[in-house]
Amino acid sequence: MISQTAQYALRAVVCLALRPQASLTTGQLAEITKVSPEYLSKVMQALVRADLVTSKPGKAGGFSLKTSPEMLSVLMVVEAIDPPTSNESYPLDIQSYGNVLRPLHQRLSQMNAYIRKECSKILIKDLLPS
């Protein structure tokens, strides 16, 4: 499912989307999201590396969204934190698995595909209060 770290990233992104004209510091985001500043700092750097968030250093600095909430999906945020790995596709042709595990791996692949598809449909703007 969605990791705790990815959930923290989503909280931070929603907070930034709510304040599009502002730059929020790690401390401000930590207070709003209820995530420790140390941990949130690592989360925010991952979002910067993924080019979803900008970071402005200095006293008047902070973080702001680089991608508009209308263009930013939940999947983009989740994958910035937890990139897809090869173990999310279950090799159905490996003989060592045998037929016993084939139904399990088929179902896991289907579930992962479904979750990715649904997360790609949800935009950050959809998570903002109306």
Instruction: List beta partners, residue 63.
Output: 24, 55
In this predicted model, what pLDDT tens digit does every residue of 27-52 receive, in sequence order?
999 999 999 999 999 999 999 999 99
What pTM was estimated for this model as a whole? 0.86
- What does the DSSP assignment read for 10-69? HHHHHHHHH-TT--B-HHHHHHHHT--HHHHHHHHHHHHHTTSEEEE-STT-EEEESS-T
pLDDT in tens, 77-121: 999 999 887 555 555 555 555 667 778 878 888 898 899 999 999
What are the chain's domains? 4-127 (1.10.10.10)
